[in-house]
């Protein structure tokens, strides 16, 4: 394992529908294949040196998709939690869900709560699943929480810092991602982790999510190790900003 591989990675899992359409299949077939790929990537993380993996599963904008497709995605979420819960728990994976839960069906919310509670003490891998997540929405909700604490006297305006704001986000308590990957050949971030990604490296790959294998993942992690991350500073031996 390459020592310079990132331990905290986030992935925008894009291209399930296009993967299916190119094969003459219904879009839901691509989403089903995508769920299988989630299983493969999660299982590969410990051997690849990844300690935190954040997956963009369903955005706040995805509700605009056809009703049939949204319903199929919700069924797949239920199936994934039900089928994978025991394996995630036994393999040491801690699951956290990011996003606004109130718009989700009550039974899905209960399943999410249950899986989080069931795996809370695991420490082999932290798996964050962004479900009904939007970066701007997350920032607004964090600001509302902080404003409520200030209004109630629990917090002073002078207490609002980058650290305290980060703690109020859905990802509070977890380090920011070092690498963010987007599959399917698209070059945009789609409202994913805008605050947390301030100094993340990006990798945009041509493969649609169902074709994104652990081997490709490992190659990206190795390539990350060749990058120079300066965080706004100059090069170690001089150079331009």
Query: Catalytic residue at 14?
Result: yes
Q: How far is CA 240 from CA 227, 231, 232, in A?
A: 16, 13, 10
* Residue tagged active-site, from 4, 8, 14, 132: 14
Query: Catalytic residue at 122?
Result: no
pLDDT at 235: 66
Flag whether 17 is marked binding. yes
Q: What is the pLDDT of residues 187-214, one digit of tens each?
A: 999 999 999 999 999 999 999 999 999 9
Flag whether 63 is marked binding. yes
**% the chain with pLDDT above 90:** 92
pLDDT at 127 over 60: yes
Q: What is the pLDDT of residues 93-123, one digit of tens each?
A: 999 999 999 999 999 999 999 999 999 999 9
Flag whether 101 is marked binding. no
Pick from 25, 30, 98, 106: nearest CA to 38: 30
Three-class SS state of 78:
helix
Higher pLDDT, 229 or 178: 178
Q: What is the pLDDT of residues 169-178, one digit of tens each?
A: 999 999 999 9
Q: How far apart are CA 116 and CA 89, in angstroms?
A: 10
For the chain, strand residue ranges (E) read 8-12, 52-59, 93-98, 125-133, 179-182, 201-204
Show the tokens assigned to 219.
């190659």
pLDDT at 236 over 60: no
Flag whether 61 is marked binding. yes
**% the chain with pLDDT above 70:** 95
CB 200 within 8 Å of CB 176: yes
Flag whether 14 is marked binding. yes
Flag whether 16 is marked binding. yes
- Mean pLDDT computed over 141-168: 98
pLDDT at 2: 45
Per-chain mean pLDDT for the chain:
95
Flag whether 119 is marked binding. no
Q: How far is CA 86 from CA 9, 36, 47, 108, 114, in A?
A: 23, 16, 20, 17, 12
Q: Which of the four pLDDT bands, split at 50, 70 and 90, describes residue 234?
A: low
**Which domains does the chain possess?**
8-134+175-224 (3.40.1180.10)
pLDDT at 228: 80
pLDDT at 229: 77
Q: How far is CA 132 from CA 16, 99, 106, 181, in A?
A: 17, 5, 14, 19
């Amino acid at each position: 394992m390459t020592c310079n591989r990132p331990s905290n990675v986030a992935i925008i899992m894009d291209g399930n529908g296009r993967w299916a359409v190119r094969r003459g299949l219904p879009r839901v077939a691509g989403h089903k294949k995508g769920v299988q790929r989630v299983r493969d990537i999660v299982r590969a993380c410990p051997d690849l040196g990844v300690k935190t993996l954040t997956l963009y599963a369903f955005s706040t904008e995805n509700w605009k998709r056809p009703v049939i497709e949204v319903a199929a995605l919700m069924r797949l979420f239920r199936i994934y939690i039900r089928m994978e819960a025991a394996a995630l728990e036994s393999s040491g994976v801690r699951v956290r869900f990011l996003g606004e839960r109130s718009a989700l069906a009550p039974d899905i919310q209960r399943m999410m709560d249950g899986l989080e509670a069931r795996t809370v003490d695991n420490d082999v891998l932290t798996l964050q699943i962004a479900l009904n997540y939007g970066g701007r929405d997350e920032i607004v909700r964090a600001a509302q929480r902080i404003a409520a604490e200030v209004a109630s006297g629990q917090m002073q305006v002078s207490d609002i810092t980058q650290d305290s704001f980060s703690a109020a986000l859905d990802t509070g308590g977890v380090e920011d991602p070092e690498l963010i990957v987007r599959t399917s050949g698209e070059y945009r971030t789609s409202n994913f982790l805008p605050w947390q990604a301030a100094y993340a490296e990006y990798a945009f790959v041509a493969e649609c999510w169902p074709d994104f294998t652990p081997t490709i993942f490992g190659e990206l992690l190795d390539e990350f190790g060749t990058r120079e991350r300066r965080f706004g500073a100059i090069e170690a031996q001089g150079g331009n900003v």
